[in-house]
Amino acid sequence: MTKKTLFYNGQIITVNKNNDIAEAMFVEDTRIMCVGKTVEALRLADKYTEWVDLKGKAVVPGFIDCHIHMAVAGARITNQIDVSKKAGVTSVDDLVNKIKSAGVKVGEWIIASNYSHESLDEKRHLTLEEMNGAAPNNPLLIIHTSGHMSVANSKALEISGLNTGIEGVQKDGTGNPTGLLSETAHFVMLEKAPVLPSGEELILGIEDFCKKLVSKGITSVHDAGGFGTATFRTLQGAKERGVLTCRTYPMLWTLFGKDEQIRTAQNAIKGGFYTGLGDHMLKIGPIKLMADGSAVGGTCATSVPLLHLGEVTPTTFTQEELDDVFVEGHRRGFQLTAHAVGDKAIEMVLNSYEKAMKLYPRKDPRHRIEHCFLCRPDLAERIKALGVIPVPNTGFLAVWGNVFEKYYGDRTEFVMPLKMFRDMEIITPFGSDAMVIEEYEPLFGIAAAMERMDLKSERVIGEGQKIDFLHALKCYTYYGAYASFEEDIKGSIAAGKLADFVVLSDSILNKNPQEIRKIRVEKTFVGGKCVFE
C-alpha cells in the first residue's frame, strides 16, 4: 500500500517562478502530488491518508548545499585533535597545552585540525619554537581551517623533506623556515603526513555527517571533494550500506597538490564516463581544479595586491595548464568547475571555459566557479554571457567579515556581489564550505546573505550587495538543483517532484535575519521519508 500524507494549515513556500505560498501539500510515497489550497489537496485524500496539521509553520524545499566537503568533514582519524575555538582553544597557550596533552606516543605524528590564527587572542600563527616546545618528540602538523595553509614543527619539516626552496615555505629574516606552510608547500605536506583516513573511517564519517546534515534540513549536497577517487568509492560504499541519507553530487578533486589534481582529472576524462552518471541518490558531478588560494587565508590570486601583501599571489595553475584539462574535460562531456577566489583566478578560469566552448560548442554545459569571491563587474558580465554558475559561501561574511575588511578594504563591494548577480539574473546557488566553516546551517547562510554582517564586530561588509529572503532561499534550493541539472525533479515544491522538504519550527516570511537564525528544523524529508525529527 502506498503511503499518503496531507500537510495542511501551513506556510508552504514553493520557490516556484512566482514564489507562490501554498496552504497544503499532498505527498504520495516519494513524490509530491499536489500543492495549493487545502480543498485541492483534499481531493487526493482517502481513509488511509495521514493528516499533518502544520499549525502555521513554514515548509520549504529541502536545502541544497552546493559546496561542502562532506567526506572530509565527517572523517576523523585517530591521531587528529580539534583545536577550534569551539573546542576551547582561544589563545596560543591554549593551543600549546592542547597539543602537549594529546597523549600520542613518542615519534608518532600529531595532526591538529580546525586551526584559525584569527580566532586566537594573539591573532598570529604559532612560532616554530612554540611548536617544537609543544611536541619536542613528535612530528606536528596543525591544519588551518581554510584548507590552504598549515603550521608544522621541525620534526614534521624534516620528515616531509620540505625545504626553503619549495614555494609556500615561509622563511624568517635569516632564510630559515618559520613553520608556516601555504598552498604548494601545504599540499606537499599533506601528501607526506598521515591525514588520509581508511575507507571504513570515511564511510563511518559520511554516515555521521549525513545525520548532522539532515538535522539542518539539508537534503542534497554537492561534495566539493578532497580525497580524490577514494571519496567517490566511499560514497558508493555508504550508499550500498544504506547510510547515505543525503542526495550527493561529488566533484572529482583531490587536496593532495597540483600534480595529483591533474592526474585525478585526466583519469576521469580517460575513464569514459562523464557528469550525470548515477541515480537520484549519488550522481557524478564536475571535474574540479583549484585555481588559487584562500579568501580567509589571504592567499588568493588577485589583480591588485591584498592590503596585507606587497605583491600579488600567483595562481596555482598557468593558463595553459587550466586549458589543457578544461578543454578536454568539456569536450568529453564533463561539467567543469574550479575553486577560484581572487579576480585574477576567476578571469583565468573564464578564459578556459570560453576557449573550450568555442572549440567544442555544447548545449547548456553549466560550468561553475566555486567561491567566485572577489568578482569585478566585467567578470560578472562574462559569467552571464557564458552561462557560468558562481557558487558563493555567504556564511563566510558572518564569520570572517572583519578579516575580509582587513585584506580587501574598499573592494568589499565586489566580495560575493550577490545583488549584482541577482540583478543580472545570474543563477547563484549557495554552499557552506563545511569543513572550512563550522556554521553550515542553511538558515545561517541565508541570514548572512540578507544582512552581510560580521557577527563579531557587527560591521556590514558590502552594504550594497544585500539580497532579500526569498531570493536567498532560492539560492539554497532551486538554484542548487539547477547547478546539478536536476531542477526538474527537486529544488522547489511542485507536483511531480521528489518529496524533499523541510518543516521549520515557525513561520519564516517577514522575519529579520536575527529571527531567522533562531528558527530550527523540526522535520526533514528525503523522498517522502522522514530522515530527521
Rounded Cα–Cα distance for residues 306 and 419 (Å)? 23
What tens digit of pLDDT does each residue of 505-517 get?
Answer: 999 999 999 999 9
* β-strand partners of 112: 81, 142
Q: Which helix (H) or strand (E) holds 58?
A: strand 58-61
Q: How far is CA 376 from CA 164, 305, 329, 410, in A?
A: 35, 15, 27, 13
Stronger pLDDT, 147 or 201, i.e. the higher one: 201
Domain final residue pick, 147, 168, 192: 192
| Grid cell in block for residue 442 | 542553511
- Full-model pTM: 0.88
Residue 456 lies in a domain: yes
Residue 206: helix, strand or coil by DSSP? Answer: helix
Domain final residue pick, 192, 220, 235: 192
Rounded Cα–Cα distance for residues 427 and 24 (Å)? 28
Mean of the per-residue pLDDT values of the chain:
91
Amino acid identity at 451: E
The residue segments making up the domain with residue 143 are 78-192
Q: Report the share of the chain in percent with pLDDT over 70.
A: 98
What tens digit of pLDDT does each residue of 16-44 get?
Answer: 999 999 999 999 999 999 999 999 999 99
Domain co-membership, 153 together with 281: no
Domain co-membership, 445 together with 388: yes
What tens digit of pLDDT does each residue of 372-424 get?
Answer: 999 999 999 999 999 999 999 999 999 999 999 989 988 999 999 999 999 99
Output the domain CATH number for residue 134: 3.10.310.70
Stretch 174-203: mean pLDDT, rounded? 81
Is the pLDDT at 315 greater than 90, yes or no?
Answer: yes
What tens digit of pLDDT does each residue of 224-275 get?
Answer: 988 777 788 899 999 999 999 999 999 999 887 888 899 999 999 999 999 9
Write down the pLDDT at residue 76: 57
| Among 111, 120, 87, CA closest to 190 | 111
Residue 386 lies in a domain: yes
Please state whether beta strands 110-115 and 80-82 pair in parallel, antiparallel, or not at all (unpaired): parallel
Domain co-membership, 183 together with 215: no
Q: Identify the band that residue 164 occupies on the pLDDT scale cut at 50, 70 and 90.
A: low
What tens digit of pLDDT does each residue of 491-503 get?
Answer: 999 999 999 999 9
Beta strands in 425-528 (DSSP E): 501-504, 521-526
Residue 133 lies in a domain: yes
Q: b or e along 403-429 (b: 16 or more beta carbons within 10 Å of the residue's beta carbon)?
A: bbbebbeebbebbbbbbbbbeeebbbb
Residue 417: helix, strand or coil by DSSP? Answer: coil
Domain co-membership, 418 together with 378: yes
Domain co-membership, 158 together with 284: no
Q: Are 327 and 289 contacting, i.e. CB atoms less than 8 angstroms apart?
A: no
| Among 398, 383, 494, CA closest to 437 | 398
Q: Are 461 and 397 contacting, i.e. CB atoms less than 8 angstroms apart?
A: yes
Give the burial class of 39: count Cβ atoms within 10 A of its Cβ; 0-12 exposed, 13-18 middle, 19 or more buried: exposed
Output the domain CATH number for residue 332: 3.20.20.140
Domain final residue pick, 171, 192, 213: 192
Write down the pLDDT at residue 79: 57
Rounded Cα–Cα distance for residues 149 and 450 (Å)? 30
Write down the pLDDT at residue 77: 56
